[in-house]
């Protein structure tokens, strides 16, 4: 073989006509998240089996940093009536199906507004036809087909999300509008919206450049950059406090825009923030190395006191503004700030019993509405848990 | 989340080249889409580990090859389950007058066994070393060498034939 041959073949391969890719990055992230959840769940189930214990009941918080991830209690399969195991008013929860406006084997509720009235999710076949669903008081409506992958909904029913191509959008009063991508960046990732219509996300560009951005739901073509280049926003509270990162540091910005780092738990190299509600934020720290993978451990910050703690759970999916923590993987569990916990019940007709059958993705501000999905027979169905004190 | 942003950036930047790689390896647009979609999903699942290890490209190439093999195996199994004969090989594009050289290359690739096709794409399009190609394919360097040699013979034949027919009006 001659060098000329090599170069020529390489050049031909580079220039050979190839059809347009039809690949969806957003879907990869969504599918990947589910798979990651299932995988983590599998690991936890194994730990439980090895330990030979079926923990049921209260899981105490606090003093947890040293001993990550004890086994999660086994899934409750009773149709209704899971009860708080601690003294205090009992909480009764019931799981019910959310109606699907279109058929599709992948139908999942992803987020709920602070009041529990609005729920958003995705329905699709797993192909390139996923639609965003907005359930209002349990009634399903479809968003326009050009909105994909809803991230959040606020108490006014405004829905925000990011399409697979990195375009942000907001759906308000029946109208879909796209968010400005700040000049110098090619994509955005939209994470959260509060009751005032402040939308938080991150603009990304070439060479790893990124910047936290705020938009307003009523003027989506305007934007405000938050902090310095290198910032990222992942959440926003009702009062306009933004949480995210600055470089490797977990970070928060006041509604006026002044920023400060959040504490990193002792003994950990860094931490990231996922979301915030009320005075609480949750995120992750890298834990122990396990077979080549790093196990991420959930952490919680109190934004008022600045205190941070590593949580003794496999993961934290959401936080309510009253401090109720949603552990969504495996056997969905809600943990109150005082450490008492309640498991969420299953549906009687669901036969699958393995951990991971139920996924919980979002929690309302009073901790009483939780949304998620059931995975059974290779089909996801959307589900809501409604609880009463 | 920082990791997610990095993932989106990496994948967005590399998508065209990933898809080209997959398409040239398998010659089927739908299969290439599926395989790339599966690969980036798996990449997302393992992103923290893979991105930290600083070998993202190697991981992606290995995933592409494995997913392609999986897909082929699955479609073969389906045919067998139905009790029908395996589908005949896709009939290669026949080179004809005026066909551009690069189209001939596609035709030549279509003739090649999968292993030869894969080494050609990994070594010449992705510019992988012998060792990296062997790692991606899960075989020995000797195997890569011999497959490359055979693939080159086949490709050179096709290209030379095209050039000859181009130079000699009939």
Q: Which residues of chain B have pLDDT under 50?
A: 74-99, 161-170
In chain B, residues with a C-beta closer than 8 Å to the C-beta of A295 are: none
**What are the domain boundaries of chain A?**
23-388
Q: What is the pLDDT along chain A (389 residues), one digit of tens a residue?
A: 444 567 777 878 887 778 877 888 888 888 888 777 665 544 443 333 333 332 333 333 333 333 333 333 333 333 343 444 445 567 889 999 999 998 888 888 999 999 999 999 989 865 556 799 999 999 999 999 889 889 999 999 999 998 877 889 999 999 999 999 999 898 898 999 999 999 999 998 876 788 999 999 999 999 999 999 999 999 999 999 999 999 889 999 999 999 999 999 998 888 889 999 999 999 988 877 655 456 678 899 999 999 999 998 878 899 999 999 999 766 789 999 888 888 899 998 888 777 668 889 999 999 999 999 998 877 889 999 999 98
Question: What's the pLDDT score for residue A265?
Answer: 94
pLDDT (tens digit, 9 = 90+) per residue, A284-337? 888 776 554 566 788 999 999 999 999 988 788 999 999 999 997 667 899 998
Q: In the 8-state DSSP scheme, what is residue A209?
A: -
Q: Give Cβ neighbours of residue B61 (< 8 Å, ≥ 6 apart).
A: B21, B122, B126, B128, B132, B136
Tokens representing residue A81 in the block: 């009536």
- The ranges of chain B annotated as CATH 1.10.1740 are 1-88
Q: How do strand A272-277 and strand A259-261 relate by DSSP bridges? A: unpaired
Task: State the pairing for strand pair A159-162/A341-343.
Answer: unpaired
Which residues in chain A have their CB less than 8 angstroms from residue B24's CB?
Answer: 13, 16, 18
Question: What residues of chain A lie within 8 A of the CB of B125, using their CB?
Answer: 10, 13-14
Model pLDDT, residue A72: 38
Count H helices, E strands: chain A? 2, 28
B42·A5 Cβ contact <8 A: no
Question: Would you call A9 and B20 a contact, using CB atoms and an 8 Å cutoff?
Answer: no
d(CA A252, CA A237): 11
Q: For residue B98, give every residue at least 6 positions away whose Cβ sits within 8 Å of its Cβ, in sequence order, or none.
A: none
- Residue B26: other Cβ atoms inside 10 A: 23
Q: Which residue has the tokens 């949480």?
A: A243
Chain A contact for B36, CB < 8 A?
yes
Rounded Cα–Cα distance for residues A238 and A111 (Å): 16
Q: Do A28 and B33 touch (CB under 8 A)?
A: no
Sheet holding A231-236, edge to edge: A231-236, A242-246, A249-253, A259-261
- Contacts B26 to A, Cβ<8 Å: none
User: Is the distance from CB of A376 to CB of A387 less than 8 angstroms?
Assistant: no
B73 touches chain A (CB under 8 A): no
Tell me the HSE value of A159 on the side-chain side, using a 13 A CA sphere: 31
Do the Cβ atoms of B124 and A210 come within 8 Å? no
pLDDT of residue B156: 76
Closest chain A C-alpha to B127 CA, distance in angstroms: 8
Whole-angstrom distance, CA of residue A316 vs CA of residue A281: 11
What number does CATH give the domain B1-88? Answer: 1.10.1740
- Using the beta-carbon criterion (under 8 Å), do A293 and B48 form an inter-chain contact? yes
Picking from A21, A27, A187, the nearest residue to B19 by CB comes out as A21
The CATH number of A23-388, from 3.40.50.12780, 3.40.50.720, 3.40.50.2300, 2.130.10.10, is: 2.130.10.10
φ and ψ at residue A62, rounded to 5 degrees:
95, 145
Residue B28 to residue B102: CA distance in whole angstroms:
16
* DSSP per-residue string spanning A107-118: EEEEEE-TTSSE
Whose CA is closest to B1, among A152, A290, A282? A282
Residue numbers in A near B19 (CB within 8 A): 18, 21, 23
What pLDDT score was predicted for residue B155? 78
Structure tokens at A258: 């002044």
- What pLDDT shows up at residue B154? 78
Chain B residues in contact with A29 (beta carbon < 8 A): 4, 7-8, 44
Residue A124 to residue A198: CA distance in whole angstroms: 29
Q: Does the CB of B69 have a partner CB in chain A at under 8 Å?
A: no
CATH 1.10.10.10 for domain B90-170, yes or no, is: yes
Q: What is the dihedral of CA A96, A100, A106, A112, to 10 degrees?
A: -60
């Amino acid at each position: 073989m001659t060098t000329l041959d090599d170069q020529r073949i390489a050049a031909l391969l580079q220039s050979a006509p190839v059809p347009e890719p039809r690949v969806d990055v957003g879907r990869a992230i969504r599918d990947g998240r589910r798979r990651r959840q299932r995988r983590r769940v599998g690991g936890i189930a194994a730990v439980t089996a090895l330990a030979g214990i079926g923990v049921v009941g209260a899981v105490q918080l606090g003093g947890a940093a040293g001993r990550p991830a004890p086994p999660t209690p086994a899934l409750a399969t009773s149709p209704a009536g899971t009860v708080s195991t601690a003294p205090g008013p009992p909480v009764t929860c019931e799981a019910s199906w959310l109606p699907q406006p279109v058929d599709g084997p992948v139908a999942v509720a992803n987020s709920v507004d602070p009041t529990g009235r609005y729920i958003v999710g995705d329905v699709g076949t797993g192909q390139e036809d996923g639609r965003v669903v907005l359930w209002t008081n349990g009634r399903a409506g479809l968003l326009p087909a050009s909105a994909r992958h809803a991230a959040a909904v606020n108490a006014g029913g405004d829905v925000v999300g990011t399409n697979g191509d990195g375009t942000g959008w907001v759906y308000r009063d029946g109208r879909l509008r796209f968010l400005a991508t700040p000049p110098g960046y090619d994509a955005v990732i939209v994470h959260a919206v509060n009751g005032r219509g402040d939308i938080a996300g991150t603009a990304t560009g070439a060479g790893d450049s990124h910047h936290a951005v705020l938009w307003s739901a009523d003027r989506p073509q305007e934007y405000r950059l938050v902090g310095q280049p290198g910032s990222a926003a992942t959440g926003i509270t009702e009062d306009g406090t933004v949480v995210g990162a600055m470089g490797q540091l977990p970070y928060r910005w006041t509604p006026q825009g002044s920023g400060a780092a959040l504490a990193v738990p002792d003994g950990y190299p860094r931490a990231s923030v996922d979301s915030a509600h009320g005075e609480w934020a949750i995120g992750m720290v890298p834990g122990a190395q396990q077979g080549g993978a790093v196990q991420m451990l959930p952490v919680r910050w109190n934004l008022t006191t600045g205190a941070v703690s590593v949580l003794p759970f496999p993961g934290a999916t959401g936080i309510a503004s009253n401090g109720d923590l949603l552990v969504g993987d495996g056997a969905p569990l809600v943990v109150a700030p005082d450490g008492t916990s309640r498991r969420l019940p299953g549906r009687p007709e669901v036969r699958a019993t393995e951990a991971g059958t139920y996924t919980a993705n979002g929690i309302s501000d009073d901790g009483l509405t939780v949304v998620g999905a059931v995975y059974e027979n290779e089909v996801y169905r959307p589900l809501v848990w409604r609880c009463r004190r | 989340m920082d990791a997610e942003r990095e993932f989106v950036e990496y994948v967005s930047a590399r998508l065209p080249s990933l898809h080209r790689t997959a398409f040239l390896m398998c010659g089927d647009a739908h299969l290439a889409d599926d395989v790339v979609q599966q690969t980036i999903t798996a990449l997302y699942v393992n992103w923290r580990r893979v991105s930290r290890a600083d070998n993202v490209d190697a991981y992606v190439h290995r995933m592409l090859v494995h997913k392609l093999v999986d897909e082929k195996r699955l479609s073969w199994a389906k045919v067998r389950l139905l009790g029908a004969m395996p589908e005949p090989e896709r009939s290669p594009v026949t080179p004809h007058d005026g066909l551009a050289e690069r189209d001939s290359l596609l035709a030549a690739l279509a003739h090649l066994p999968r292993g030869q096709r894969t080494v050609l794409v990994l070594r010449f399009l992705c510019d992988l070393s012998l060792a990296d190609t062997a790692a991606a394919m899960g075989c020995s360097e000797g195997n890569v060498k011999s497959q490359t040699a055979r693939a080159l013979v086949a490709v050179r034949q096709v290209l030379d034939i095209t050039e000859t027919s181009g130079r000699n009006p009939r």
